[in-house]
Chains A and B, each alone.
Chain A
């Protein structure tokens, strides 16, 4: 009886310890590598080629890091980093001021995309040549949240349009399908994704890039204040490995693409030309000068757009929201 009791107690302690360990996103592994669980904010995709290449080429291991890719929702990644359950996440730029306004102590430490990656896309017969042409159009987007919504509202704001001037349709991530089926006249999507897919399917489309009208903070790597204070070296290693990975992918796109096969199930059955083009369009977005740099003006613009949209109620101290200190 006593030994049974001891057995269950030991089991309980082991379970508790292992569950505590499972909660932390960063831990030392036997090979002295620091394990990083990294939420990517989207499904496995060739746009993450630099990360896949970075792992395979050993850039992260050189910095003592072991990356585990996590494809859960972007907002979950932000919340977990905010709660210091994880140390890093890849997120869209607008998430940082929104989350900080709600008290999440996250800090943007490296730009992943140099330009805001959102575009408005329409079939050429719609004659969408400037943001003002959006007036009266039915515009499909995943929902009234996230980068697509913010990018669209920024473009509309540029032309002095309000939500009542257009017909917004929340269609989930089905923009390509609804434009192809003419269910909506205009869609909002990622520059490197939806327009490429539509062109590959033979549609003649026009694009309005948000970044041509307003510079906004783009997707990037975030950490939290605790990690910044307690382990700035970890942040430096993570940023350094990521920048090396971007550099490698830009200089060796074919090799970077080959590394994607290991991480993206079904890639071998997809249209290779389209996928390569998606990756190359993404690579064009990574090339900031210098790599990883985020422009202070883009942060000011983003904050104003979010305040205008009502997604933030008051100004925040932007100097606490981001830093370029780790990209040197």
Chain B
């Protein structure tokens, strides 16, 4: 099968599966007679979507959450990469910091989020930090695993070529650790959305988490669905971006593999 035909087939399946899902949803809500405030019909969610697009509120709240997610991701990534590098390079640092890092992962983020609001105020900062905290661990682990998977003979090679520490990082460690690191980033990118929304649930007056709270407070379940679907799209978009980066950055690896 030609590539374009295969792609067309994939898109066809996607459309059929989406329409089938919507049809099942419509049939279920129609025949089960579940009230709209418990489970709205697809048409009601669609109508609500159009309203919030037209009045600009969906774009506004999505933009707020996206800012929190991107800044949270940036902060979480930076902290995870720096700490991960230190931990991968020094057994001593690993022994000292590991208990704290592992213990911190057993604290549910929903328990910390209210404290962050008290410490940092109700603004965007507490949401960025919630997002960064949730991103930190998976990226950290993958950074360490990635760096430790660099074959020792390649280090020998770099030494024999008298590479500087900077050259060693740029020419060897980053490319070698990149596949595993990007695997962590895939998980981190979707978690960043969850982190920001948890922060917004605790206390916010804007963002998609706030929109969910408004919908719940007004028994406007269609609005809750709109906000949730937007969050899903946001997470899928971020995931897709990481996959795109992966394909782009790791193209050399695939070429070598062919």
Contacts and interface: CB of A to CB of B under 8 A. Distances in A.
Interface of A: 73, 75, 78-79, 82-83, 98-99, 102-104, 140, 142-146, 168-174, 177-178, 181, 183, 311
Contacts of B204: 143, 170
Contacts of A181: 118
A171 B203 contact: yes
Contacts of B216: 73, 75, 145
Interface of B: 34-38, 113-114, 117-118, 121-122, 202-205, 210, 213-214, 216-220
26 contacts: A73-B216, A75-B216, A82-B35, A82-B37, A83-B35, A83-B38, A98-B219, A99-B219, A104-B219, A140-B122, A142-B203, A143-B205, A143-B213, A143-B217, A145-B218, A168-B205, A169-B203, A170-B122, A170-B204, A170-B205, A171-B122, A171-B203, A172-B114, A174-B203, A177-B118, A183-B118
Contacts of B118: 171, 174, 177-178, 181, 183
B129 to A, nearest CB: 15
Contact of B122 (A98, A99, A169): A169
Contacts of A146: 217
Contact of B214 (A145, A168, A177): A145
B218 to A, nearest CB: 6
A309 to B, nearest CB: 11
Majority secondary structure of chain B interface residues (helix, strand, loop or mixed): loop
B126 to A, nearest CB: 9
Contacts of B202: 172
A173 B114 contact: yes
Contacts of A143: 203-205, 210, 213, 217
A78 B205 contact: no
Nearest to B123: A169
A102 B37 contact: yes
Contact of A171 (B36, B117, B214, B219): B117
A231 B203 CA distance: 40
Nearest to B120: A183
Contacts of A142: 203
A79 B38 contact: yes
A172 B217 contact: no
A102 B218 contact: yes
B219 A145 contact: no
B218 A311 contact: yes
- Cβ-closest 7 pairs across A and B: A145-B217, A172-B203, A102-B219, A172-B202, A170-B203, A171-B203, A169-B122
Contact of B205 (A102, A103, A144): A144
B164 to A, nearest CB: 48
A143 B200 CA distance: 10
A311 B215 CA distance: 11
A99 B215 CA distance: 11
Nearest to A174: B118
Contacts of B37: 79, 82-83, 99, 102-104
A102 B44 CA distance: 13
A144 B205 CA distance: 7
A280 to B, nearest CB: 28
Contacts of B121: 169, 183
Given A79-B37, A144-B205, A171-B122, 10 more contacts: A99-B37, A102-B220, A104-B35, A168-B205, A169-B122, A170-B204, A171-B203, A178-B118, A183-B118, A183-B121
